[in-house]
Amino acid sequence: MWFRSDRKGYICGSYGRYGNEKCSSHAIKENRLTDAIIHDFNEFLKKVNLEMLSKHFQQKI
């Protein structure tokens, strides 16, 4: 994906380089991508057992 300021988001790299010859035009706005990443990261954090992780790293130290 390539960032395009005129679209305020990211477009397919193949489309950006080769146009309709290689790929269709598809894009995602930067704010939608940011929201999706934050949402996924928060879901990941809910599933991580921080106590177990802390004990593991303390053992390694």
What total of structural domains would you count in the chain? Answer: 1
pLDDT in tens, 18-60: 988 888 878 899 999 999 999 999 999 888 888 888 888 899 8
User: Is residue 61 predicted with pLDDT exceeding 90?
Assistant: no
Q: What would the two tokens of residue 40 be?
A: 């996924």
Would you say 11 and 4 are in contact if contact means Cβ atoms under 8 Å apart? Answer: yes
Tell me the residue range of the domain where 16 lies. 2-60
Q: What is the pTM of this model?
A: 0.61
Q: What would the two tokens of residue 26 be?
A: 């598809």
